[in-house]
Copies of this chain bind each other. A is one copy, B any other.
Amino acid sequence: MSKHPEKETTGRFSYDGLERAIHEKARLGILASLMTKSEGLLFSELKGLCALTDGNLSRHLKVLQETGLVEVWKGFHHNRPQTLCRMTSEGRARFLEYISVLEQVIADTAAADADPQPARKYLEGWSPV
């Protein structure tokens, strides 16, 4: 090991591309659903696909709308009011960028040691905290 290994690889695992608006677990599910349906999904469909309550889905859609990832439309279907959610084109691009970072995370850990090694020997008199 070199003397200053951290200096050579600063931020190697900081994954800056994991945009927070996308990375939140429920929002990741909402966006993945919408990516598969570019013509949009109704509020009730999204709610089912993501197993979210009305309140949680509304809250997350607000964040996604405010950050420009999703557009929300109101309209009628068979005279009943409906809400349609749809990825913006910018949202699609940002989501694909996010996915490329996830692929990096997976690639990084695929290179992980297959067999766990004993803890480093050079620490003397060490004890668990």
Contacts and interface: CB of A to CB of B under 8 A. Distances in A.
Contact of A76 (B28, B47, B111, B123): B123
Nearest to A1: B45
Main secondary structure of the interface of A (DSSP, over half): mixed
A125 interface: yes
A55 interface: no
A126 B74 contact: yes
A82 to B, nearest CB: 6
Contacts of A129: 65, 72-74, 83
Contacts of A89: 116
A128 to B, nearest CB: 6
A106 interface: yes
Interface size class of A (residues with CB under 8 A): 35 or more
Given A11-B51, A40-B119, A119-B40, A32 B125 contact: no
Given A20-B25, A37-B113, A38-B115, A12 B122 contact: no
A73 B112 contact: no
Interface string A89-129: 10010010001001101101101110111111011111111
A13 B49 contact: yes
Given A82-B123, A106-B106, 10 more contacts: A9-B49, A12-B33, A14-B51, A18-B28, A38-B113, A39-B120, A73-B123, A73-B126, A76-B124, A76-B126
